[in-house]
């Protein structure tokens, strides 16, 4: 595996409440509205909508970091990646009990008669809760 700077790119991951990462990366994988997409150095320019899911990042030293992100937008151009997301949580920050309660609330709301707007809001809440629970239960090497 090459260890030079030629296989790295600049990356900035920003949530609404913090700048989570601002350094170079070897690889980044994220869930988009169209499926998973991976980024390496010199990726073609792209702007893409990010969906709720796990963000996998490989640092220059080869170590991996995994976090749960909410919806957002990603831009890659000139060997620079910028990811803006509404939420970002590490496993340590996650409150699993709160995620379970949110899942139960959203499921109950979906069982009731709702307007289309309320239905979509409940559906989004359920997706966020399920994403958090899936991420929390997943073990990484």
Q: How far apart are CA 132 and CA 50, in angstroms?
A: 16
Contact 55, 28 (CB under 8 A): yes
pLDDT score of 114: 76
Tell me the domain boundaries of the chain. 5-89, 96-137
pTM: 0.71
117: Cα separation from own chain's centroid: 24
Looking at 1.20.5, 3.30.950, 2.60.40, 3.30.70, the CATH number of the domain 96-137 comes to 1.20.5
pLDDT tens sequence for the chain (141 residues): 445 577 999 999 999 989 999 999 999 999 999 999 999 999 999 999 999 989 999 999 999 999 999 999 999 999 999 999 998 988 777 667 776 777 777 788 777 877 888 877 777 777 777 777 777 667 654
At 3 the pLDDT is 52
Contact 89, 68 (CB under 8 A): yes
| Alpha-carbon separation of residue 78 from 9, 36, 81 (angstroms) | 9, 21, 8
CATH numeric code, 5-89: 2.60.15.10
């Amino acid at each position: 595996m090459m260890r030079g700077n030629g296989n790295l790119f600049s990356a900035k991951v920003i949530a609404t409440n913090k700048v989570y990462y601002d350094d170079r990366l070897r690889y980044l994988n994220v869930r988009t509205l169209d499926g998973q997409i991976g980024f390496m150095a010199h990726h073609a320019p792209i702007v893409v909508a990010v969906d709720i899911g796990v963000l996998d990042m490989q640092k220059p030293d080869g170590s991996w970091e995994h976090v749960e992100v909410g919806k957002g937008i990603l831009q890659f151009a000139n060997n620079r990646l910028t990811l803006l997301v509404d939420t970002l949580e590490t496993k340590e920050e996650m409150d699993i009990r709160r995620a379970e309660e949110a899942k139960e609330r959203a499921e109950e709301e979906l069982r009731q008669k709702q307007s289309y707007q309320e239905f979509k809001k409940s559906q989004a809440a359920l997706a966020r809760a399920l994403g958090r629970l899936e991420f929390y239960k997943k073990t990484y090497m």
